């Protein structure tokens, strides 16, 4: 089943017409109609469509996992959220630009920290996820308001590799809400995995474990971790992805 077929199923389930859905997500009725009828596998509006229709983003984009979006906050994985930083969610809206200390901010912009992997002095390929203290990224305040993210809880990061293709190719910039670290099944999060910065779908497992899922499931199989594995592997949720942007 293509994305368009799942979109139509979710829209009818929500009791919305194409026009009503289009108005809520900032699209035209014709665009919704075209998306539902063509054999599409992705959409730049997927995140906003999933939120509006109250379905899982992973289900909408790939057909994997449950259709319904998890809305209950998690109480079983709080031990991996003890070291919070900045982050938020995903969507192809607003704008982001690199800048330096000599570039003035517009009235509707804020500067956001950028998370990246930094090689440790000890070498041997060991890295640590930390905030970039050099160049920052500037971000539209209007985008943060639409995503209900406070500027002090927002940060950015870059996606590496092909594990989240085609939705988020290598080099994609993501916005992260660091105040939103409780795992909700099927949502996308930025995580610190023993010094490696990763952007993945997360699912809770009984007993405090987690399941890490890639969009590109053909090349990257799901990873299962028990609660003890989470501790041993130093897996920490940085925040939920609320926005992304791709330049190809």
Residues 125 and 89 in one domain: yes
Let me know if residue 93 belongs to a domain: yes
- Give the tokens for residue 109: 């912009």
Q: Report yes or no on 34 lying in a domain.
A: yes
Reading the block at residue 107, the tokens are: 């009235």
Q: Are residues 238 and 144 in the same domain?
A: yes
Q: Ramachandran region of residue 207, left (φ > 0), alpha (ψ -120 to 50) or beta?
A: left
CATH number at residue 154: 2.10.109.10
At 25-76, the pLDDT tens digits run 878 888 888 888 876 655 667 887 888 888 888 888 888 888 876 543 332 3
Residue 111 lies in a domain: yes
Q: Which pLDDT score, from 0 to 100, does residue 230 have?
A: 95
Q: Are residues 110 and 58 in the same domain?
A: no
Look at residue 160 in the predicted model and tell me its pLDDT.
Answer: 86
* Alpha carbons 70 and 185: distance in angstroms, whole number: 5
Q: Is residue 72 part of a domain?
A: no
Partnered with residue 138 across adjacent β-strands are 97, 111
Mean pLDDT comparison of 36-45, 68-77, 127-136, 224-233, highest-scoring range:
224-233
Residue 69 lies in a domain: no
CATH number for the domain that contains residue 45: 1.10.260.40
- Mark whether 158 and 101 lie in a shared domain: yes
Q: Which domain holds residue 23?
A: 3-62
Residues 48 and 129 in one domain: no
Instruction: Look at residue 182 and tell me whether its pLDDT is greater than 80.
Output: yes
Task: Indicate the DSSP class of residue 74.
Answer: P
- Going by C-beta distance under 8 Å and a sequence separation of 6 or more, which residues neighbour residue 195? 117, 120, 126, 127, 128, 129, 234
The answer on 147 and 34 residing in a single domain is no
Rounded to an integer, what distance in angstroms lies between the CA atom of residue 117 and that of residue 126? 10
pLDDT averaged over the chain? 77
pLDDT in the model for residue 122: 52
Residues forming beta bridges with residue 119, ordered by sequence position = 127
What share of the chain has pLDDT > 70, as a percent? 75
φ, ψ for residue 9, nearest 5 deg: -60, -45
Instruction: Decide if pLDDT at 220 tops 70.
Output: yes
Our count of domains for the chain comes to: 2
Sheet of 154-158: strands edge to edge?
127-131, 114-119, 154-158, 173-177, 235-245, 187-193, 196-205, 209-213, 223-225
65-115: per-residue pLDDT in tens? 888 765 433 323 323 233 333 333 233 333 444 444 555 666 778 888 888
């Amino acid at each position: 089943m293509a994305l368009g077929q799942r979109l139509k199923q979710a829209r009818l389930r929500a009791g919305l017409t194409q026009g009503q859905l289009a108005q809520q997500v900032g699209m035209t009725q014709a665009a919704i109609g075209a998306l539902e009828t063509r054999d599409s596998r992705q959409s730049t509006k997927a995140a906003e469509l999933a939120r509006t229709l109250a379905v899982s983003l992973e289900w909408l984009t790939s057909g994997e996992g449950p259709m319904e979006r998890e809305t209950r906050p998690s109480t079983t994985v709080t031990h991996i959220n003890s070291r919070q930083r900045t982050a938020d969610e995903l969507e192809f809206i607003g704008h982001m630009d690199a800048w330096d200390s000599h570039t003035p901010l517009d009235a509707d912009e804020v500067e956001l920290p950028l998370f990246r992997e930094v090689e440790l002095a000890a070498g041997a390929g060991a890295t640590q996820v930390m905030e970039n203290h050099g160049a920052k990224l500037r971000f539209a305040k209007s985008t943060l308001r639409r995503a209900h993210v406070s500027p002090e809880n927002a940060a950015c990061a870059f996606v590496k590799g092909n594990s989240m293709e085609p939705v988020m190719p290598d080099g994609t910039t993501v916005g992260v809400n660091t105040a939103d670290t409780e795992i909700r099944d099927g949502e996308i999060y930025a995580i610190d995995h023993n010094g490696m910065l990763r952007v993945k779908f997360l699912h809770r497992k009984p007993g405090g474990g987690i399941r890490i899922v890639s969009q590109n499931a053909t090349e990257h199989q799901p990873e299962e971790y028990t609660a003890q594995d989470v501790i041993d592997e130093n897996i920490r949720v940085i925040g939920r992805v609320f926005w992304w942007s791709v330049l190809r």
